[in-house]
Amino acid sequence: MNTYITQVMDNNLFFLIAFVFLVWLSVVTYVLFRINSHHEKLTVVKNGNLKEVLEELLKSRNATADVLDKIGFRLDTIEKKELLQIRKVGVYKYNPFPDTGGNQSFILVILDGNSTGVILTSLHTRGVTRWFAKNIIGGKGVDFDLTAEEITAIKSVSGSAPNGKVEKYGKK
C-alpha cells in the first residue's frame, strides 16, 4: 500500500509541476506576444524599416528646430519694432500763471517705447494762446530744455507721476 500512495503522490506531484509549468509557459507566451505586437506597431512602415523611420524623425526634428529658430528671430524683430510704436500718450493740464483762471494750458505727450517722440505745449494767456513743439529722445529734450511741467508730463505717461493731474490714453 505504501507503494501505491507513493505512486499516487508522485503522479500528483508530476501533474502539479506540469500544471505550474503550463501556467508559467502561458504567462511568458502572453508577455512575449504583447512585446512582439508592441514592437510591430513601432516598426510598421510603408516600404521601410525602423532605421528609416528614426532617420525621418531626426530630419523632422531638425526641420522643426530650424522653424523655431526662424520664429524666434522674427519675434525678436517684432519686439524691436514694437518699441518704435506710439505707446505713451498723455495730456497734462496746468495753470502757468496764477492771475489767470483755470487750467487752460496743457501739454500733449506722444512717446514710443524708448521714450522718444514729441511734446506739444499749449500756453494760454489772457490775450493769446501759443503752441510749442519739442522733440524728445530717451525722455529728454533734444533742441530745447524742458520745463518742469513738461518733465512732469513725461514722467506721468511713463508711470512715475508725482501727482494725479494727467489723463492717460493708450497703452502704458
Nearest-angstrom CA–CA distance, 150 and 161: 11
Q: Which of 32-41, 85-94, 143-152, 155-164 has the lowest mean pLDDT?
A: 155-164
- Over residues 14-26, the pLDDT tens digits come to 888 888 999 999 9
Nearest-angstrom CA–CA distance, 75 and 30: 53
Q: Say what the pLDDT of residue 170 is.
A: 36
Domain ranges of the chain: 1-44, 48-82, 86-169
pTM of the model: 0.53
**26 to each of 16, 22, 30, 91, 160, how far by Cα in Å?**
15, 6, 6, 85, 78
- Residue 116 is given by DSSP the state -
Q: Which of 64-68, 125-129, 148-152 has the lowest mean pLDDT?
A: 125-129
- Over residues 80-110, the pLDDT tens digits come to 888 888 888 999 988 887 776 677 889 999 9
